[in-house]
Chains A and B, each alone.
Chain A
């Protein structure tokens, strides 16, 4: 407590230059440290909003799987987040941002180290933000990528092979490919533009999920005699709550990715990003609402939820430049994409339980292309180059990892376990023990 008070007092002094009397002439004024403090705050607030998206994914997935698999889905969600947090410290962060912290040729496989306690202003990188806040913020993104995979492969994958995949994804795959753009790598030098990660986070998760879904195969009985057998989710209230939580978290996801808040221009941009992000979510939902009514004569809530998320993914590559109307149509096209591609995946017999591939991969590709409409610095060729680079690397790398896991330990539960439900067969614990099985 004493320590805290001292540092708070020091902070207050620093914030009030008039109180810093003659002997403190060397102490920096707010003009110098203000931007650092504001940007650090942006990372902290953005970081805990993006953290909350883990809850959103958990609820969305718990609601869209059948009740016999809910405990397993929740277990995977908290485990994958925790593993991502540890792996990103152990290797991920420094692998992803080699230029910032290690220099390109230094060994990158080193754990993240924070600043010392009570950092002096003179020792801080005043043109940016604290390392700890940056690490905290970036780590939330890698966890989002892993969450995408868990939803697509739900209801038939074994727990431990999935978690081993998460170790590789969050410790190695995502940081390597992320460094191409955000770590100052070759795509960044080419002029590729992906503001908060339509491709770098969402499509990467989608590609890893697609590779997994192909190698794992569909749930038993999902595709029989040329017909698709729907397996309705257990709790649409949870799925809706999860979607709203993701929507909230996305303000941190996109807004925090401004990576600066210390000037009028920067903080105004953050506000602009919030408003655009919200608009794209709304228009994605409305597009799916209208389209399912027209196509099926009834609104399908699960598709409206997916449409909203697709709107969010679509605007993530460029949430700053578009007008509100621009965000509206970019998000709406995202919503349309999921309504058409969810049945398309079913026709290809690719079983994606929660619609993760349409939402994160297809809408992510769309969002990355859509950057060129409002950002004059982006070119279509470069955007497509980035999309293909991430696609090939992630799909091939993930495919190899899934194949190795399949050969080494098997990735799919037995037929009996799948029919009984993963909750009782793998965990011996049900999410809803008082209710009948479904």
Chain B
């Protein structure tokens, strides 16, 4: 099993969710986050005073899928979330050792 962590632009979330559902993903975790990467921050003006916004708002999606599915899912996310402009986000893939469905006690891929 693989854990896919993707940070994307918040306005792309709904599109990505639909694409992932079509691709057979049956669950995901979503968190609103702030951070910076190559986009860095930008400046804003409040009551005449300029200030730096060092952290940009993003959405983090976490999905656990069968190892065989991982490449396909990563491709779906990167295709859907892409705008071609700086700040589109990043995707990380990690190994997952174990999964348990709390209600039934099923484990690993049965629990996904």
Bound-state CA distance A83–B45 (Å) is 38
Given A229-B49, A230-B46, A346-B47, 15 more contacts at CB 8 Å?
Answer: A229-B51, A230-B49, A230-B51, A295-B48, A296-B45, A298-B45, A300-B47, A302-B46, A302-B47, A303-B47, A303-B48, A342-B48, A343-B47, A343-B48, A346-B48
CB distance from B95 to the nearest CB of A (A): 33
| Residues in chain A near residue B47, CB distance under 8 A | 230, 300, 302-303, 342-343, 346, 355
| Residues in chain B near residue A300, CB distance under 8 A | 45-48
Bound-state CA distance A229–B51 (Å) is 6
- In the complex, the chain A residue whose C-beta lies closest to that of B48 is A343
A336 located at the interface, meaning its Cβ lies under 8 Å from any Cβ of chain B in the complex: no
Q: Mark B35-63, 1 if CB is under 8 A from A, else 0.
A: 00000000001111111000000000000
CB distance from A435 to the nearest CB of B (A): 14
Partner of A339 from the list B46, B48, B49, B51 (CB cut-off 8 Å) is: B48
Bound-state CA distance A282–B76 (Å) is 51
A228 located at the interface, meaning its Cβ lies under 8 Å from any Cβ of chain B in the complex: yes
B49 touches A346 (CB 8 A): yes
A232 touches B48 (CB 8 A): no
Of B45, B46, B47, B49, chain A has the most CB atoms within 10 Å of the CB of: B47
Give the 5 A-B residue pairs with the shortest CB-CB distance, closest first.
A343-B48, A230-B46, A228-B49, A296-B45, A230-B51
Q: Mark A335-350, 1 if CB is under 8 A from B, else 0.
A: 0000100110010000
Q: Which residues of A contact B (CB under 8 A)?
A: 228-230, 232, 295-296, 298, 300, 302-303, 339, 342-343, 346, 355
B49 touches A343 (CB 8 A): yes
CB distance from A228 to the nearest CB of B (A): 4
Bound-state CA distance A296–B45 (Å) is 7
CB distance from B47 to the nearest CB of A (A): 5
Give 13 pairs: A residue, B residue, CB < 8 Å, sorted on A.
Answer: A229-B49, A230-B47, A230-B49, A230-B51, A296-B45, A298-B45, A300-B45, A300-B46, A300-B47, A302-B46, A342-B48, A343-B48, A346-B47
B49 touches A232 (CB 8 A): no
CB distance from B74 to the nearest CB of A (A): 32
- In the complex, the chain B residue whose C-beta lies closest to that of A339 is B48
| Residues in chain A near residue B51, CB distance under 8 A | 228-230
- In the complex, the chain A residue whose C-beta lies closest to that of B46 is A230
CB distance from B31 to the nearest CB of A (A): 14
Bound-state CA distance A302–B50 (Å) is 15
Bound-state CA distance A346–B46 (Å) is 12
Bound-state CA distance A228–B45 (Å) is 11
Bound-state CA distance A121–B45 (Å) is 61
| Residues in chain B near residue A339, CB distance under 8 A | 48
| Residues in chain B near residue A232, CB distance under 8 A | 46
Bound-state CA distance A339–B48 (Å) is 8
Bound-state CA distance A339–B45 (Å) is 13
Bound-state CA distance A339–B47 (Å) is 8
CB distance from B51 to the nearest CB of A (A): 5
CB distance from A98 to the nearest CB of B (A): 42
Bound-state CA distance A232–B51 (Å) is 11
CB distance from A151 to the nearest CB of B (A): 14
Bound-state CA distance A343–B50 (Å) is 10
- In the complex, the chain A residue whose C-beta lies closest to that of B51 is A230
Bound-state CA distance A346–B47 (Å) is 10
| Residues in chain B near residue A342, CB distance under 8 A | 47-48
CB distance from A296 to the nearest CB of B (A): 4
| Residues in chain A near residue B46, CB distance under 8 A | 230, 232, 300, 302
CB distance from A229 to the nearest CB of B (A): 6
Of B45, B46, B48, B50, chain A has the most CB atoms within 10 Å of the CB of: B48
Bound-state CA distance A303–B49 (Å) is 12
Bound-state CA distance A127–B47 (Å) is 49
CB distance from B55 to the nearest CB of A (A): 14
